[in-house]
């Protein structure tokens, strides 16, 4: 039985998810909420295998790649997300199944089929989709992280991924422009999350 709140951060690489997520977590903890911060790919066996693929995706077939993401997520849901929701926590996850629909969708899979294969995964209460153009994303990866883009991050690929993220119709998705300052993006995120918390409290008390 789910009683917590699940919030997923999504978006193409370089949008600042891993900066914004801990800032939101601390803000919520200061208000007395129990918060679990987590991410995908996880640090479990499937997640570690996925990280090995970063430099060379051709090591596995597209089928095997999709299978790895699904297995990693199944384990993540069973061992981390579901128990935390049952304890009543607010779970903040850096990536969730929308990433599979967008990235593996860009690699040729039908996003609808990918969504359909996630009946085991609780639907998020809110998806914070951070938006940035693929050009901005790649220049952030190069300049700020001092890294060259990995195989999941090539430009043509990122354009397809961004288009797919833009096309998803789920009502839990809120799009947040991510080209602003860290503080401005965080303010927009807090605003949306506060509205969610008010709605949840009203529905619990009414
Ligand atoms: P990322 O969030 O960038 O991890 P980290 O910051 O730890 O390097 O995710 C790694 C890459 O994996 C990213 O380019 C997107 C890709 N990915 C998928 O292709 N499908 C998925 O289902 C997930 C969760 C990630």
Pocket-testing residue among 18, 103, 130, ligand 1, by greatest number of atoms within 8 A of Cβ: 103
Mark 100-114 as b/e (b = at least 16 C-beta within 10 Å): bbbbbbbeebebeeb
Which ligand 1 atom is at minimum distance from the Cα of 152?
Answer: 14
Pocket residues for ligand 1 (CB within 6 Å)? 13, 18, 40-41, 69, 94-95, 99-100, 103-104, 152-153
Distance 30 CA to ligand 1 centre (A): 29
- For the whole model, what pTM was predicted? 0.94
Q: What is the per-residue pLDDT for 141?
A: 85
Q: What are φ and ψ of residue 178, in 5° steps?
A: -105, 5
Distance 65 CA to ligand 1 centre (A): 12
- Chain segment 46-81, per-residue pLDDT in tens: 999 999 887 777 778 889 999 999 999 999 999 999
Distance 51 CA to ligand 1 centre (A): 8
Q: What is the per-residue pLDDT for 206?
A: 58
- Chain segment 112-132, per-residue pLDDT in tens: 999 999 999 999 999 999 999
The three state secondary structure string of 8-33 is: EEECCCCCCHHHHHHHHHHHHHHCCC
Below-70 pLDDT ranges, the chain: 1-2, 206
Domain boundaries of the chain, sorted by first residue: 5-205
Q: What is the per-residue pLDDT for 185?
A: 98
Pocket-testing residue among 53, 54, 95, 141, ligand 1, by greatest number of atoms within 8 A of Cβ: 95
Q: What is the per-residue pLDDT for 2?
A: 57
- Burial of 116 from C-beta contacts in 10 A (0-12 / 13-18 / 19+): exposed
**CA distances for 193 relative to 2, 30, 39, 126, 143, angstroms:** 19, 14, 19, 8, 30
Distance 73 CA to ligand 1 centre (A): 12
Q: Give the architecture-level CATH label for domain 5-205.
A: 3-Layer(aba) Sandwich (3.40)
């Amino acid at each position: 039985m789910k009683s917590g709140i699940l919030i997923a951060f999504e978006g193409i690489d370089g949008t600042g998810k891993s900066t914004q997520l801990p800032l939101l977590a601390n803000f919520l903890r200061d208000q007395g909420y129990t918060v679990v911060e987590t991410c995908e790919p996880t640090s479990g066996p499937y997640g570690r295998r996925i990280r090995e693929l970063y430099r060379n995706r051709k090591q596995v077939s597209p089928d095997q790649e999709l299978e790895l993401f699904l297995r990693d997520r199944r384990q993540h849901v069973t061992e981390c997300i579901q128990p935390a929701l049952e304890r009543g926590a607010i779970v903040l996850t850096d990536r969730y199944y929308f990433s599979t629909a967008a990235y593996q969708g860009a690699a040729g899979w039908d996003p609808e089929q990918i969504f359909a294969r996630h009946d085991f995964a609780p639907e998020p209460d809110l998806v914070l989709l951070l938006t940035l153009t693929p050009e901005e994303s790649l220049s952030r990866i190069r300049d700020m992280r001092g890294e060259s883009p990995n195989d999941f991050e090539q430009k043509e690929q990122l354009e397809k991924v961004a288009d797919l993220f833009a096309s998803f119709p789920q009502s839990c998705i809120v799009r947040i422009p991510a080209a602003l300052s860290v503080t401005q993006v965080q303010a927009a995120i807090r605003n949306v999350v506060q509205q969610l918390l008010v709605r949840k409290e009203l529905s619990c008390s009414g």
